[in-house]
Structure 1
Amino acid sequence: MIQRVQSIWLFLAAAILVLMLFLPIVTKENQTTELSIHTVGLYQDVVNKPGPGVLKETFTPLLITNIAVAFMCFVNIFNFKRRVLQKRIALISILLIIGFAFWCSVFAQKLPGGIEGAHFDFGAYLPALSILFCVLAILGINKDERLIRSAERLR
């Protein structure tokens, strides 16, 4: 059934990954400018000037990976009839999210002057949260499998 708890966990994992598109991962400030790394690219913002930052460099492969992993988690919701496949895709999603998080840290090194003096924003912790949601989805799938096996035993 699509209303099972693992569907909620997979939807939350996908939503968290989509949220990473809008939140900065790493921010570094100096006296006049603020540089921030998003999955879209490197943004530069003038400290005393209101308004949005300027996109200095785009990270297209990172953006495509972020969207693909989020889409994979979302599409996995509709595999509710094939629990084994749903569990395998959730495990693959976890591995891809780990690789994506590592790749984000590699792109964070591209800040001018390195990562020294930079602070990690909320976007840096979102991959760990999406991994947690995928693990909770796998636990829900396992619970469904045990329930179905026990119901078949009673027949």
Structure 2
Amino acid sequence: MIQRIQTIWFFLATLILVLLFFFPLATKMVDGSLEQIYTNGLHHYLQGKNGKTLNVEVFLPLLISHIVLVILCFVNIFLFKKRSLQKRIALLNIVLIIGFSFWCSIYAKELTGGIEGASFGIGAYLPAIAILFITLAIFGINKDERLIRSAERLR
């Protein structure tokens, strides 16, 4: 069976998770300096006499788990011949994204003074969109399974 719409949904979920690398989760202004939380770390933009400088505090475990999420979602595209495995990996991916989002919220407390007064960027909402796309892919897989079962009944 040729995989149809779920390929697009898994690709869009992968694209959304890749975009999460580039958009901040939270932003906060502290004493004239800008602090932003990304999935790869905490970025401090300090306003000095010579202009802006950037200090980065890297969150390596969070970064590695984000890369694993992207790879897992991308590999799931090519498992279309094993639909039950594809559905299980998609469900696992949803659970991992929820856990990853919770973990990101814990790291967001690394901002100076906590998350009070911080504005949440588009990166804070991208995991929910990725979960939506993966859920739509699961619906597409179920639709293919129903189609195959009905075709087998006609034989």
TM-score by length of 1: 0.93
**Does structure 2 retain, via aligned residues, the 8 Å contact 1:2–1:78?**
no
Richer in strand (by share): 2
Cα distance, 1:32 vs. partner?
Answer: 1.3
1:25 has 2:34 as partner = no
Task: Give CA-to-partner distance per residue, 1:69-127, whole Å, 9 cap, x none.
Answer: 11101000000000000000000000000000000000001111111110100000000
Give the Cα separation in 2 of the matches to 1:96 and 1:2: 27
What's the CA shift for 1:47?
Answer: 5.8
Q: Which 4+ stretches in 1 moved above 4 angstroms? A: none
Please report how far the alpha carbon of residue 10 of structure 1 lies from its aligned counterpart in structure 2 after TM superposition: 0.6
Secondary structure of 1:114 counterpart? coil
Taking the aligned partners of 1:25 and 1:52, their CA distance within structure 2 comes to 21
Cα distance, 1:153 vs structure 2: 0.4
- Indicate the percent of aligned positions where both proteins have the same amino acid: 61
- C-alpha distance in structure 1 between counterparts of 2:12 and 2:87, whole Å: 16
Which residues of structure 2 form unaligned runs of 5+? none
Match of 1:110 in 2: 110
Q: 1:142 & 1:12 partners in 2: Cα distance? A: 19
CA distance in 2 between counterparts of 1:95 and 1:63 reads 17
Structure 1: stretches of 5+ with no match in the other structure: none
2:116 aligned with 1:121 = no
